[in-house]
Amino acid sequence: MNVLVVGSGGREHAICHALARSPRLGRLFCLPGNGGTALLGTNVMGDAADVKLALEVARRENIGLTVIGPEEPLAAGMADAFEQAGLAVFGPRAAAAQLEADKAYAKQLMRAQAVPTADARSFSDYRQACAYIETRDEALVVKAAGLAKGKGVIVCDEPHEALLVAERMLVKREFGPAGARIVVEERLEGREVSVLAIVDGATLHILETAQDHKRLLDGDRGPNTGGMGAYSPAPPIDAETMHQIEAQVFVPILDGLLRDGVRYRGVLYAGLMLTRGGPKVLEFNCRLGDPETQALLPRLRTDLLDVFEAAVHGRLDEIRLDWDPRPALCVVMASAGYPNSPSERTPISGIPVEAPDVMVYQAGTLRLGERTFAVGGRVLGVSALGDTLECARRRAYEVAGTISFEGAQYRGDIGLEPVASVSG
Ligand code: AMP
Ligand code: GLY
């Protein structure tokens, strides 16, 4: 079967890499892909959110399954367009992708379904936001309601900081259209965990756990990023809490969507805070995490093509997910300007051709002839499996140390410290 993967990050390279292990895979296409996916299949130039182009490619190349990696094409209705055209697609429809693309909508659905989450109000009027913030005397979090690449959340220590952030978002429009509506919510304390599930509308399989490191610098300092590394499994969540998360978060959200006529097909990702009052939702994503995927998929033994197909055709109940018990850890190597400014194209050297239990996933790269160039953002994710997390860590860093490109930056403490519970 021919497969099209939409996206260009490390997540998409990891997906392609796992699909390439399937004996049932025919030809593999990526829109637009990167230097890594170019080694596994055919990259199609264009924009990942270009619905028309994706449909054209799917028809022209006789694609049997399209897998949508990032949030933008999902929010743009790519899955809807494929379903309408009678083409198999893995990823939720736009209405369900609103869970990630519109935090105000996510809050509303959570409230309607009694899903535990931080108390919140949403505003598009600055004066109304101020009037509300002034009545609060606890620490607040202000979020741009729209898609902001993981950078639209500001955790405030003092209520007056929240006033300034509201002004930056609603008046100065520093966050662009994403900040035209904001969510102001109570700040929660506790351990942060991410739980991902693959869903076909009826059956739900919780995936193995993974944890990312969002801050740029060692010790969880510096600005928030898309993620500078990840490891799997995450520190354990006890069975009762996991059961609560499934029963109080996943089931009611999927029920609520179904009531609105949306059958969710794809990955639902819940970011949670384990508070003293139980798990509470911080956010939903409607897709696999990046870089969590680069730590999860090296551990998946089940054929990923079978898993995606089962989800698309409502047959997930027939699938058992089989995981390598060994931990995996991914170190992200980013370009000099990440996350704030773009970087010049620069050659990469030292990517190993073959290294046992190591996968070098590419993201911001370009393949030209026989050479691979860094083109900015997160450039590589070096993932390793090991008998223990420490072994995986050592192995990933050993390989990262042999790879070089100008201005490369990466954290030295992925998987070392438990991730801080609050950011500021
Ligand atoms: P989000 O994109 O909504 O997950 O927010 C990004 C990060 O901000 C989260 O990973 C948390 O570390 C932090 N955060 C978000 N909401 C809250 C909250 N209500 N209380 C404390 N921290 C939060
Ligand atoms: N690493 C977090 C995300 O993919 O949103």
Q: Ligand 1 centroid vs 248 CA: distance in angstroms?
A: 19
Query: Regarding beta strands 358-362 and 378-385, do their DSSP bridges make them parallel or antiparallel, or are they unpaired?
Result: antiparallel
Q: Which of 18-27, 257-266, 356-365 has the lowest mean pLDDT?
A: 257-266
Please determine, for residue 158, whether its predicted confidence score (pLDDT) is greater than 90.
Answer: no
- Mean pLDDT for 312-328 is 97
CA of 131 to the centre of ligand 2 (A): 33
Q: What angle do CA 92, 96, 99 make, to 5 degrees?
A: 120
Task: Using pLDDT thresholds of 50, 70 and 90, give the confidence band for residue 417.
Answer: low
Residue 229 Cβ contacting ligand 2 at under 6 Å = no
Tell me what pLDDT residue 223 has. Answer: 86
Ligand with smallest separation from the Cα of 290: 2
Residue 16's identity, in one-letter code, is C
CA dihedral of 87, 2, 330, 353, whole degrees rounded to 10: -160
Task: Find, among 232, 235, 223, the residue nearest to 327 by Cα.
Answer: 232
pLDDT(424) > 70: no
CA dist., res. 242 & res. 424, Å (int): 27
Confidence label for 126 from pLDDT (cuts 50, 70 and 90): very high
Mean pLDDT over 80-102 rounds to 97
| Lowest mean per-residue pLDDT among 84-88, 181-185, 416-420 | 416-420
Report the nearest atom of ligand 2 relative to the CA of 150.
5
Q: Mean of the pLDDT values across residues 312-330?
A: 97
399 or 137: whose pLDDT is higher? Answer: 399
CB contact burial 161-190 (16+ within 10 A = b; e otherwise): bbbebbebbbeeeebeebbebbbbbebbeb
Which residue among 282, 285, 297 has the greatest number of ligand 2 atoms within 8 angstroms of its CB, and so is best to mutate?
285
Out of 212, 294, 296, 414, mutate this one to test ligand 2's pocket (max ligand atoms within 8 Å of CB): namely: 212
Asked whether the predicted pLDDT for residue 420 surpasses 60, the reply is no
Q: Is the CB of 91 under 6 A from ligand 2?
A: no
pLDDT number for residue 418: 55
**HEC states along 11-43?**
HHHHHHHHHCCCCCCCCEEEEECCCCHHHCCEE
Question: What pLDDT score was predicted for residue 423?
Answer: 36
Ligand 2 site, residue 289, Cβ cutoff 6 A: yes
The residue type of 211 is: Q
Quote the CA–CA distance of 337 and 414 in Å, as a whole number: 20
pLDDT of 16 above 70: yes
Lowest mean pLDDT segment, chosen from 88-92, 116-120, 339-343, 359-363: 339-343
Is the pLDDT confidence value at 422 over 60? no
CA of 189 to the centre of ligand 2 (A): 20
As a whole number of angstroms, the distance between CA 34 and CA 359 comes to 15
Distances in whole angstroms, Cα of residue 338 to Cα of each of 45, 79, 146, 407: 24, 30, 21, 10
Is 290 near ligand 2, meaning CB less than 6 Å away?
Answer: yes
Per this entry, what is the length of the chain?
A: 424
pLDDT band at 175 (very low <50, low <70, confident <90, very high): very high
Atom of ligand 2 nearest to the CA of 227: 1
Both tokens assigned to 255 = 């029920």
Tell me the average pLDDT across 269-296.
96
For range 219-230, the mean pLDDT: 92
The bound ligand whose nearest atom lies closest to the alpha carbon of 119 is 1
Whether the ω angle into residue 116 lies within 30 degrees of 0, i.e. cis, is no
pLDDT band of 375, cuts 50, 70, 90: very high
- Give residue-wise pLDDT tens across range 327-354: 999 999 999 999 988 899 999 999 998 8
pLDDT the model gives residue 421: 42
Q: What mean pLDDT is predicted for residues 141-150? A: 90
CA separation for the pair 71, 94 (Å, rounded): 10
| Neighbour tally for 258: CB within 10 Å | 14
Write out residues with Cβ below 6 Å of ligand 1.
Answer: 118, 141, 143, 150, 153, 155, 185, 187-188, 192, 214, 271, 282-283, 422-423
326 has pLDDT over 90: yes
Does residue 202 have a pLDDT over 70? Answer: yes
The closest ligand to the CA of 152 turns out to be: 1
CA 81 to chain centre: 22
Distance between CA atoms of 379 and 6, rounded to whole angstroms? Answer: 18
Q: Is the pLDDT of residue 91 over 80?
A: yes
In this structure, are residues 324 and 18 in contact, taking their beta carbons and an 8 Å threshold? no
What CA–CA distance (Å, rounded) separates 350 from 401?
9
For tokens 């010049």, what's the residue? 344
